[in-house]
Amino acid sequence: MRYRGNVIRPPSEAGSYILQVAWGCSHNRCTFCGTYGDLTFQIRPLEEVREDILMAKSYYGDLRRVFLADGNALVLPTERLLGILGCLKEAFPSLQRVGIYARATDILRKSAEELRDLRAAGLGIVYVGLESGSDSVLSLVRKGCTRDEAVAGCIRAKEADLKLSTIILLGIGGKSLSREHSLESARLVNAINPRYLSLLTLMILKNTPLYEKVQQGLFELPDPGGLLEEMKLFIENLDVRQTIFRTNHASNYLSLEGTLGKDRDRILREIDRALQAGFLRPEFIRGL
């Protein structure tokens, strides 16, 4: 249980033991992301990871949930991940689920068979930061992944029976591409039909290239009302079935949850009410 740098995990992994199998993100180029700063991406030696697992075992005893960090841990070679999953199974007999962050391009680098092997070894859920369905936005923020790659990667994960949790980032198109971001992101999510869908809201961090753009007047974030309108347009254009939807991340101005499509109208009414009443999470309690 030794940690290096910022350690992040999805809200739904709050109760999980976080195991850093790598440090940083192998991409680390997204203009809005300041999580790993100048931390050089490095895969931790298996022996060191095994030692951490044994430390966690002696501290927590048996565990049911583990999350593999950092930023895109699925980039690790499949053999290494299988070795780690084996160690986890051995240490924690009650282990029910292992989660991991992945870029869609990491998924695409693995064959269907490799993904099925990882599933069989205990990997349960993959979290993919799609951010946007607009290729213009993805290119501007240097996501390093196209819309088509995002669809293909996510479908491949689903076909391997991995649960798929996807994330769209409100505000990432700025004011100028807000509408395109909403519509294209809905189109992307419709093509994937993920099990889980979360929205986060962009926060401009000082240690990022996007902050510089804001300072130069080259990027303008929609105001909170504009961000809710962006979310509304996105949800209005969704056509998914049985997708569990949440905006419970601390970056959001409004916390919503439900199952899309059956709760779509109720969620849209809640957004309208928040827009009319101006009842939004105050800035000082927003966070990443």
Q: Which residues bind ligand SF4 (CB under 6 A)?
A: 25, 27-30, 33, 35, 71-72, 103, 129
Of 202 and 240, the one with the shorter C-beta distance to ligand SF4 is 202
C-beta atoms surrounding 60 within 10 Å: 11
How do strand 65-69 and strand 17-20 relate by DSSP bridges?
Answer: parallel
Q: How far is the CB of 36 from ligand SF4 (least distance, A)?
A: 6
Of 141 and 189, the one with the shorter C-beta distance to ligand SF4 is 141
DSSP assigned state of 19: E
100: closest CA among 63, 73, 129? 73
Residues whose CB falls within 8 Å of the CB of residue 42, separated by 6 or more in sequence, listed in order: 22, 23, 24
Of 29 and 269, the one with the shorter C-beta distance to ligand SF4 is 29
Q: How far is the CB of 227 from ligand SF4 (least distance, A)?
A: 19
As a whole number of angstroms, the distance between CA 129 and CA 236 comes to 21
As a whole number of angstroms, the distance between CA 113 and CA 59 comes to 35
Of 129 and 194, the one with the shorter C-beta distance to ligand SF4 is 129
Q: How far is the CB of 28 from ligand SF4 (least distance, A)?
A: 5
Asked if 202 and 221 count as a contact pair (C-beta separation under 8 A), the reply is yes
Question: Which residue in the block uniquely carries the two structure tokens 């994960």?
Answer: 157
Q: Within 13 A of 19's CA, how many CA atoms are on the CB side?
A: 28
H or E element in which residue 68 lies: strand 65-69
Of 145 and 240, the one with the shorter C-beta distance to ligand SF4 is 145
Q: How far is the CB of 165 from ligand SF4 (least distance, A)?
A: 14
Exposure pattern of 20-32 as b/e (b: 16+ CB <10 Å)? bbbbbbbbbebbb
Q: How far is the CB of 129 from ligand SF4 (least distance, A)?
A: 5
Q: How far is the CB of 25 from ligand SF4 (least distance, A)?
A: 3
Q: How far is the CB of 26 from ligand SF4 (least distance, A)?
A: 8
